[in-house]
Amino acid sequence: ARGGAGAFCSCVSEDCKRPHEDDDDLENDLAPTKFPVPLAMWDLAQCDPKRCSGRKLARLGCLRELRIQQRFPGVALTPDATDCVSPGDYHLIHSDGLAVVDCSWNRLDDVPWPRIHSAA
């Protein structure tokens, strides 16, 4: 399994066969990870694509990218939400999934909130 403390080797030896955090081809070697619920993201391209964790998850096949105005059937996590996720959302999340709006906190006024739709 990857991730967590000690997942990457910190040596400087060129003969080392273990994965290093700065390996360019590391992402290409990883198989898509299957999550217990469907995951999706509306990416508003407001951050550096090389440092964006949402884009990295999309490149790794862990989530589905959504277009603006594309409806998501599950629960959406947004910084302007009026309701909190609760145990009552379990069945909806488990069956239809969880989506996020990947945007910059500094540019929340630029987000087209009326065009982002989900069931909850």
User: pTM to 2 decimals?
Assistant: 0.68
Taking 70 as the pLDDT cut, the residues of the chain under it are 1-14, 17-33
Tokens of 27: 């992402």
Q: How many CA atoms lie within 13 A of 56 on its CB side?
A: 10
List the strands of the sheet with 98-102, edge to edge: 64-66, 39-43, 98-102, 75-77
State the pLDDT at residue 12.
66
